[in-house]
Amino acid sequence: MTDTAPSITREQTARVQTARVQTTRVHTALFAEVTQKLRLRAKELLESGEVVSVIGWEAGRFENQTTPAFITDANKVDRLIFNEYCANTLGKYVLSEKLDGKVAVCVRGCESRGINRMISDNQLKRSEVYLLGLPCPGMVESPEVSHASEPSHAPEASSKLLSKCAFCTHRQPVVFDEYLGTCEATDETLGGLIPKPIDPSERFSDVEELEALSLDERNAYFEKLYNNCIRCYACREVCPCCTCRECFVDQARAGWQGKQNNLEENRFYNLTRVFHIGDRCVECGECERVCPMELPLMKINRKMVKDLTTLFSVPEAGLDSETISPLNTYDVADLEEYL
Amino acid sequence: MSVVESNSDFQPTVLAFCCHWCTYSGADLAGLNRMNYPANIRLLRVPCSGRVNPQYVLTAFNKGCDGVLVCGCHPGDCHYVSGNYFAKRRMMAFKRLLEYTGLEPERFQIRWISGSEAGKFRDVVTQVCEEIRALGPLKHSASFEAFAEQGALGTVNALTPANKAEEVVEND
Ligand code: SF4
Ligand code: SF4
């Protein structure tokens, strides 16, 4: 069997990545300005007592890496930063933080859609969060930390767009209380500053690529995926749709999920996870990013999103908090395949 | 993938989820009328096709079923008004997902069979069982290795599901 031609997916990613490098310098100014504003507003919000904590990012342990920050003390707002290494999507942290009171959280496109998602799933009230909208040019991968013996070499700055950002359709927050960017929150007005997000109609290209394979090839592909899963459940933990108090994998008495790490159980977990969130997935790509085994989870997630989109012509998830997810409703005029 | 020479002797296990109000009555009627259909089918009565959790289907495959059939009332006839409409959407998405991840389309089927359609019940069950008999037993695992042996992994590997476990072994 011959190798297939270079995929559309990789071409697209490369295109976005090139655009990314060209605009890096503009971004440095943008990031500095946004960080300034963010610290200022965080301080004001905490001092006025309007919120009990601010969720953002702070410098990580290594250079060119960040980690989520939970600031509760107005004197510590200077820890907050916003730069091109803010890979974590923060939305889900709101659920645990809000127990103490109103929470301010930084929202880019992915976070804002996650927040909408949790509001429509009754996990969150809009009044429980204060949303600080941030402009997002797409984030880049933190350079690999070298384990070489000489520690003098700082990791080189990378410019590889995170794969989740290459497929992002909404870089700008779709809901916020205030916007900390430099211009109005539309991709158009941000114009040359920020490379255009991927066209929504192109976002299924990687699924189509897999669909074109034969049944056996697809089977092998996904068996490889299941075989490599270590069932750490990180993909569940970060997902703004996975908000059940008790997940099916933890229902020991019902016994849905066996504890063995084998193909059958891993397939059961992965397919069930996808099916539980597929009608509501906001395509933030966080599950795929956190997977320690680097499994291409979006290729399953997007398959379900694609089918539901084409079968029931539903809009992208998480753009507002009112739309009912396609599997929670029906239409008597739905396509009939089972007569 | 092992190719079974002839599957005609293979006795598949096929699980059929039947809604109490329609398909199960249809099956009853088929029995009353002394209709013949393959004994490979195992009926499992559920209150409504909307009760069929996709996890049941996965569990059935994991526990050794070679095929699964989900049957309910025709759209519009649901005893609970709308259960089968929800089931339909759910199964449409789930069937596509299973096929995408490598399950033969014949192994998971959905049909609407009413309480009076004894003949249709017999025909559907016979057809489904024969299709699955022809396919042979469900490949439970290791088809990846078999596939790799055939040297046909080029395309699959080009699409790279990252394989950390292998990397670690190589680096050691
Ligand atoms: S994060 Fe990756 S390895 Fe962990 S359970 Fe999810 S798919 Fe499996
Ligand atoms: S399934 Fe993954 S991409 Fe979808 S909402 Fe959850 S974390 Fe985001």
pLDDT digits (tens, 9 = 90+) for A271-305: 999 999 999 999 999 999 999 988 999 999 999 99
Lowest mean pLDDT among A44-53, A138-147, B77-86, B158-167: B158-167
DSSP state string for A99-114: GGS-EEEEE-HHHHHH
pTM summary value: 0.86
Question: What pLDDT, on the 0 to 100 scale, is given for residue A206?
Answer: 85
The residue that leads in pLDDT, B133 or A137, is B133
Question: What pLDDT, on the 0 to 100 scale, is given for residue A77?
Answer: 94
pLDDT digits (tens, 9 = 90+) for A255-269: 899 888 888 899 999
> Which residues of chain B neighbour A216 with C-beta distances below 8 Å?
1, 102, 143, 147, 152
| Closest in A228, A307, A339 to B161, CB measured | A228
Last-in-domain residue among A132, A166, A200: A200
Average of per-residue pLDDT across A127-156? 71
Look at residue A289 and tell me if it is in a domain: yes
Average of per-residue pLDDT across A67-88? 93
Identify whether residues A191 and A48 lie together within a single domain.
yes
- Residue A13: pLDDT band (50, 70, 90) is low
Identify whether residues A184 and A234 lie together within a single domain.
no
| Closest in B85, B112, B140 to A332, CB measured | B85
Judged against a pLDDT cut of 90, whether residue A189 lies above it is answered with no
Identify whether residues A210 and A310 lie together within a single domain.
yes
- Residue A145: pLDDT band (50, 70, 90) is low
Q: Which position has the token pair 């490979």?
A: B40
Provide the number of structural domains found in chain A: 2
Identify whether residues A28 and A119 lie together within a single domain.
yes
Domain annotation for chain B: domains and CATH numbers: 14-138 (3.40.50)
Inform me whether the C-beta atom of residue B64 falls under 8 Å from chain A C-beta atoms.
no
Look at residue A148 and tell me if it is in a domain: no
Identify whether residues A127 and A224 lie together within a single domain.
no
Distance CA B94, CA A233 (A): 22
Chain A residue whose CA is closest to B124: A339
Last-in-domain residue among A133, A166, A200: A200
Question: What pLDDT, on the 0 to 100 scale, is given for residue B12?
Answer: 94
Indicate the top mutation candidate among A165, A301, A304 to test ligand 2's pocket, ranked by most ligand atoms within 8 A of CB: A301
A209–B75 CB contact, under 8 Å: no
Residues in chain B with pLDDT values less than 70:
1-6, 140-172
Look at residue A219 and tell me if it is in a domain: yes
Identify whether residues A130 and A264 lie together within a single domain.
no
Average of per-residue pLDDT across A17-34? 66
The whole domain housing A70 covers: 11-143+156-200
Judged against a pLDDT cut of 50, whether residue A5 lies above it is answered with no
Distance CA A172, CA A170 (A): 5
Look at residue A334 and tell me if it is in a domain: no
Question: What pLDDT, on the 0 to 100 scale, is given for residue B126?
Answer: 96
Look at residue A298 and tell me if it is in a domain: yes
Look at residue A336 and tell me if it is in a domain: no
Question: What pLDDT, on the 0 to 100 scale, is given for residue A184?
Answer: 47
**Side-chain half-sphere of A229: how many Cα atoms within 13 Å?**
29
Question: What pLDDT, on the 0 to 100 scale, is given for residue A86?
Answer: 92
The residue that leads in pLDDT, A64 or A112, is A112
Question: What pLDDT, on the 0 to 100 scale, is given for residue A7?
Answer: 41
Identify whether residues A192 and A278 lie together within a single domain.
no
Question: What pLDDT, on the 0 to 100 scale, is given for residue B69?
Answer: 96
Contacts 24+ apart (CB under 8 A), B80-86: B80/B47, B80/B48, B80/B50, B82/A330, B82/B50, B83/B48, B83/B49, B83/B50, B83/B51, B84/B19, B84/B48, B84/B49, B84/B50, B84/B112, B85/A330, B85/A331, B85/A332, B85/A334, B86/A327, B86/A330, B86/B50
Distance CA B98, CA B114 (A): 26
Which ligand lies nearest to the CA atom of residue A117 in the structure?
A: 2
Identify whether residues A193 and A261 lie together within a single domain.
no
Identify whether residues A186 and A216 lie together within a single domain.
no
Identify whether residues A254 and A169 lie together within a single domain.
no
Question: What pLDDT, on the 0 to 100 scale, is given for residue B128?
Answer: 96
Q: How far is B11 from chain A (nearest CA, A)?
A: 22
Distance CA A218, CA B99 (A): 9
B143–A216 CB contact, under 8 Å: yes
Identify whether residues A226 and A255 lie together within a single domain.
yes
Ligand 2 site residues (CB inside 6 A) read: A 238-241, 277, 281-287, 301
Average of per-residue pLDDT across A181-188? 55
List the 177-236 stretch of A: residues with Cβ below 8 A of B: 207, 209-211, 213, 215-225, 227-228
Look at residue A266 and tell me if it is in a domain: yes
Q: What ipTM was predicted for this assembly?
A: 0.85
Look at residue A332 and tell me if it is in a domain: no
Question: What pLDDT, on the 0 to 100 scale, is given for residue A76?
Answer: 93
The residue that leads in pLDDT, A194 or A59, is A59
Lowest mean pLDDT among A68-77, A131-140, B127-136: A131-140
Question: What pLDDT, on the 0 to 100 scale, is given for residue A171?
Answer: 84
Judged against a pLDDT cut of 50, whether residue A151 lies above it is answered with no
Mean pLDDT (chain A) is: 84
Judged against a pLDDT cut of 90, whether residue A199 lies above it is answered with no
- Residue A157: pLDDT band (50, 70, 90) is very low
Judged against a pLDDT cut of 80, whether residue A82 lies above it is answered with yes
Can you say how many angstroms the Cα of residue B149 is from the centroid of all Cα atoms in its chain? Answer: 28
The secondary element (H helix, E strand) that includes residue A289 is helix A286-290
Identify whether residues A194 and A210 lie together within a single domain.
no
Last-in-domain residue among A200, A235, A267: A200
